[in-house]
A and B are shown apart, each in its own frame.
Chain A
């Protein structure tokens, strides 16, 4: 007898729960949701993106006032990141981006978390978005390009990585048009 699936909700027989299937689903789900971040990527973000960008900019920084909700979520994301729960950090940043989708700082934060998760293409894309709508000068600009550079390197694009690093250097030197 087959499982009947039709609209007037007549009885279905033989819909015994397949615990085996459920188990498999749980296992698969668990695999899908956990991409353990390589430790070196966490260090890379600190040592090659955040710290140098901060030093380089030496205080040339203007941030707009942050929405309190976004502030709360980014703080929680920072905590998740600090304890190594990068998936949770990404989920929290996504929530924040729902509230303020065009916050360049937030987009860059997401890029850095994606980099640590080994999601290089998304790291590149979020950093690009941040740069497109961001100040294109100062610390954030340097973080944008340094993230793009690292991501390109990991994606096997050394030339693009080199160019991005050059752009990171220029964030302090030239002021792009419109500013």
Chain B
């Protein structure tokens, strides 16, 4: 039947070369026999014509009968053939017409007085949401202003909790926060303004394919008219095939001395794109024409044009074909189709003729010549004035140098969105087209995270660490578990292996806090002041060998407090404590904190011989940072059908841990890691003294570098290492800590909350001898204790003061 897939001898492939191993539509190849029929009949007729003339009459009669027979036969074949073509092209057309991707939205920015926001953050949010900066914000989706005073014209938007009107607002920023929010009309103060969210991607939730489909209504006028003027001037009037167009194109080409215009109608080109072949045989052309006629008969022009705009092949990005103007606009200009300018429209229109020949990044010269030819044609047909055309011809191509930013800008985060959709939704629901997916991504924080990884990796290379170091970064809201940013590669725009989600790496000392948590849950035995030996220890392992962990500095530190042991990350002390508390208590903690893997009960796990992904590490620490209220980390908050019905919501669900008193006390210990311990470089790197909790992690032979840290409202996990797990020369404090600090330097640093729940309280103690003390005593510090774990002995200072007090009262009472 159809145009089979043949070797491609055409001048320029309309369609991409198929990827090896990709499925071919072998079903289509089979029916090539009908095509032979006309050829055979021609041969027969030819033979008949060479008979001698004497029998001419009889033969003519016979020929006529034969002709009629053949015509009947042909018609008999043609009709089912047409039905077959109709079936083919219609199912293809319908299949794609409905294949709208799901739109993915970032979390909307909620503006209110007191919100931490600086001008850079605001600009990043607005630009991600496609707001254009103008002199006066007079249209929806624009903003103006600078230096702390802005006007923003918010677009109307349908949220998961209802529609919201367009609104013009006035915003003031100062000192890193919103200082004023009002309506320019009347000037009344506004309590809360929610901006429409950035549309961060269009995806097919069930498979990894990107398209950026456009609706006819959103396509710039010049593209619609310009495309027709160049490719198919008679589009509005023909029925799928345009003989006049062919003639006109031939004439134009003759005049121009080369191929300027094509003779195929847009409908024919659309059919050609469906069948991925560039064969230029006559039967193929006939089939194409027939299918074009069928499409025109079945669908109206607008439907056909829309399908064309989304289908036409406009380039190749690695193994991905760029189909459609929407996607091409993202790929070449990094802009939505609505926002490109006339010279960019002209480039895309010109590329229809040959997407690789006129590829603006590979063949800029040729692409420019072609673009200018198209601009001339625009002028010639009156779409642009001659003046405009020559002005645009002077413009550069204006393509982005880097194709990496094309399409979906947040590949790592979208992996997480896909994972969670597939985990939490029914497949049938995800098949519905055009879902609206609301996510937790904060564009400004994502931008900061990407910047932190790029810069951080540059810094590390400059310090002589391996150039191929890899990195991952997770940023989440502490209390809601909403993932605000995710980076899974040293090049944040890269697709492929997502280390934040999929790299299972040894976690090293990052695990240690759980040993201390297990201990603090026994207030009758342990507090931060309890002593533990940091001395060599040997433990027999399952295989009979001895395991003798050493400290990072290869020294033992004698008797230390638990607080010191955690802050300095002493291995020997931690192993002794862990064995004292018991391995099951420790591995049980991991389970409680959301690690969904079997953890071997062997001593080496106490020092982090456990492989977890950065996201899993973030989950464990979320529970701690939120005071023992565990919530699953999530990237999706709601999914809607195109009509606005909710598919399901991911509501905020809390799971309280039982011993939140111990968690709160542990949090204090983690602030000491930053204040005096292995992460004490952090305040310097951040340029802030804000109280921050965190833990460094390094694995054997410096293969992995971890830092996990949190403020009151943000939790960040940074990992640095090599993909092949070779020693990388990295430690928690020399690599990951720097990446983390780069990120948090750009975020508000709200000090960690050290509020204690019931069952824990603050006491003044003397940390040197571990006794109760008093605020007025030298060297006394205030420290949290799980009730019942406070020291009982009074410090000398406290005893003296109490003595003094007593004597004061006794003197007072003895006065008379």
B partners with A: yes
User: Is B651 within 8 A of A8, CB to CB?
Assistant: no
CA of A125 to CA of B631, assembled, Å? 11
Contact of B320 among A7, A73, A136 (CB under 8 A): A7
CA of A177 to CA of B786, assembled, Å? 13
B815, CB-defined interface residue at 8 Å: no
B321, CB-defined interface residue at 8 Å: yes
A39, CB-defined interface residue at 8 Å: no
User: Is B660 within 8 A of A8, CB to CB?
Assistant: no
Interface string of B717-755 (1 = CB under 8 A from A): 000000000000000000000000000000000000101
User: Is A7 within 8 A of B209, CB to CB?
Assistant: yes
B residues in contact with A8, CB < 8 Å: 16, 18-19, 22, 319-321
B residues in contact with A94, CB < 8 Å: 651-652
A residues in contact with B211, CB < 8 Å: 9
User: Is A28 within 8 A of B426, CB to CB?
Assistant: yes
Q: Shortest Cβ distance from A28 into chain B, in angstroms?
A: 7
User: Is A12 within 8 A of B96, CB to CB?
Assistant: yes
Q: Which of A80-101 contact B (CB under 8 A)?
A: 88, 90-92, 94-95, 97-99, 101
Interface size class, chain B? 35 or more
User: Is A97 within 8 A of B652, CB to CB?
Assistant: yes
User: Is B761 within 8 A of A178, CB to CB?
Assistant: yes
A16, CB-defined interface residue at 8 Å: yes
A10, CB-defined interface residue at 8 Å: yes
B553, CB-defined interface residue at 8 Å: no
Known: A32-B648, A67-B114. A1 touches B27 (CB 8 A): yes
A residues in contact with B18, CB < 8 Å: 8, 10
A residues in contact with B206, CB < 8 Å: 5
User: Is A29 within 8 A of B646, CB to CB?
Assistant: yes
B280, CB-defined interface residue at 8 Å: no
CA of A72 to CA of B762, assembled, Å? 36
Contact of B649 among A12, A91, A98, A99 (CB under 8 A): A91
User: Is B161 within 8 A of A92, CB to CB?
Assistant: yes
User: Is A26 within 8 A of B645, CB to CB?
Assistant: yes
A15, CB-defined interface residue at 8 Å: yes
Q: Which of A144-176 contact B (CB under 8 A)?
A: 176
CA of A72 to CA of B94, assembled, Å? 47
Q: Which of B648-675 contact A (CB under 8 A)?
A: 648-649, 651-656, 660
A129, CB-defined interface residue at 8 Å: yes
A61, CB-defined interface residue at 8 Å: no
User: Is A6 within 8 A of B23, CB to CB?
Assistant: yes
Contact of B757 among A88, A122, A133 (CB under 8 A): A133
Q: Shortest Cβ distance from A138 into chain B, in angstroms?
A: 15
A59, CB-defined interface residue at 8 Å: no
CA of A21 to CA of B98, assembled, Å? 14
Q: Which of A106-165 contact B (CB under 8 A)?
A: 122, 125-126, 128-129, 131-133, 136
User: Is A69 within 8 A of B647, CB to CB?
Assistant: no
Residue from A15, A24, A73, A176 with most neighbouring chain B CB atoms (10 Å): A15
B residues in contact with A16, CB < 8 Å: 91, 94-95, 98
B residues in contact with A5, CB < 8 Å: 206-207, 209
User: Is B25 within 8 A of A1, CB to CB?
Assistant: yes
Interface string of A1-44 (1 = CB under 8 A from B): 11011111111111111100110111011101100000000000
User: Is B192 within 8 A of A122, CB to CB?
Assistant: no
Contact of A9 among B27, B209, B656 (CB under 8 A): B209
Known: A9-B209, A9-B321. A129 touches B656 (CB 8 A): yes
CA of A21 to CA of B627, assembled, Å? 43
User: Is B713 within 8 A of A13, CB to CB?
Assistant: no
User: Is A102 within 8 A of B22, CB to CB?
Assistant: no
Chain B contact residues, majority secondary structure? loop
A residues in contact with B94, CB < 8 Å: 16-17
CB nearest to A22 among chain B residues: B432
CA of A29 to CA of B649, assembled, Å? 9
CB nearest to B317 among chain A residues: A8
User: Is B651 within 8 A of A21, CB to CB?
Assistant: no
A residues in contact with B652, CB < 8 Å: 94, 97
Interface string of B105-119 (1 = CB under 8 A from A): 000001011110000
Contact of B651 among A18, A26, A29, A90 (CB under 8 A): A90
User: Is B656 within 8 A of A101, CB to CB?
Assistant: no
Known: A7-B320, A14-B95, A22-B432. A29 touches B209 (CB 8 A): no
Known: A71-B191, A122-B653, A132-B660. A10 touches B429 (CB 8 A): no
User: Is A33 within 8 A of B646, CB to CB?
Assistant: yes
Q: Which of B13-28 contact A (CB under 8 A)?
A: 16, 18-19, 22-23, 25, 27
User: Is B95 within 8 A of A13, CB to CB?
Assistant: yes
CA of A7 to CA of B322, assembled, Å? 11
User: Is B432 within 8 A of A101, CB to CB?
Assistant: no
CA of A8 to CA of B322, assembled, Å? 8
B477, CB-defined interface residue at 8 Å: yes
Interface string of B244-267 (1 = CB under 8 A from A): 000000000000000000000000
B residues in contact with A64, CB < 8 Å: none
Q: Shortest Cβ distance from A78 into chain B, in angstroms?
A: 15
Q: Shortest Cβ distance from A178 into chain B, in angstroms?
A: 6
A residues in contact with B162, CB < 8 Å: 88
Q: Shortest Cβ distance from A98 into chain B, in angstroms?
A: 6
B99, CB-defined interface residue at 8 Å: yes
18 A-B contacts, Cβ less than 8 Å apart?
A4-B25, A9-B321, A22-B432, A25-B429, A26-B643, A29-B647, A33-B646, A33-B649, A68-B112, A68-B191, A91-B160, A94-B652, A98-B477, A98-B482, A122-B653, A132-B629, A136-B758, A178-B756
Which 4 A-B pairs have CB atoms at the shortest separation, nearest pair first?
A69-B112, A101-B479, A69-B192, A15-B95
